[in-house]
Amino acid sequence: MRQIKHPTIDQVELTDIMYALADPTRLEIVALLAKAGRKLTCGEIDLNRPKSSMSHHFKILRSAGLVETVIEGTEHMNTLRLEEIEQKYPGILSAVIKATANN
């Protein structure tokens, strides 16, 4: 059961996080993951875009260190790496999530 590679938290750069969150689609993915508070499959995050586009955005979220994806069967379960990011960059991600909630 091959798993996807993620950056370790010390490899996560602030500008990568900012970049990942600068796209409306990705910001929405992050908001949905935060709101759900549980593992979500890519399919559950339906933003009306083709699979390949969504996959692209997930890849960027992963490489920025924001999202962790674990393969379970045919599904890819995604979670926010909230605690880790908060530890390294306190307040940023939680504030962004709060900002997206008020919409």
Q: Which residues bind DNA (CB under 7 A)?
A: 1-2, 4, 19, 23, 25, 41-44, 49-60, 69, 71, 73-76
Least Å distance, CB 7 to its own copies, is: 17
Of the candidate residues 18, 47, 71, 101, the single one contacting its own copies (CB under 8 A)? 18
**Contact partner, 15, from DNA, its own copies, none, Cβ < 5-8 Å per class:** its own copies
Considering the rule CB under 8 A, would residue 63 count as an interface residue with its own copies?
no
Radius of gyration of the chain (CA): 13
Asked if 98 interacts with its own copies (CB under 8 A), we say: yes
22-27: list long-range contacts, CB under 8 Å, 24+ apart. 23/57, 23/60, 25/49, 25/53, 25/57, 26/57, 26/60, 26/61, 27/96, 27/100
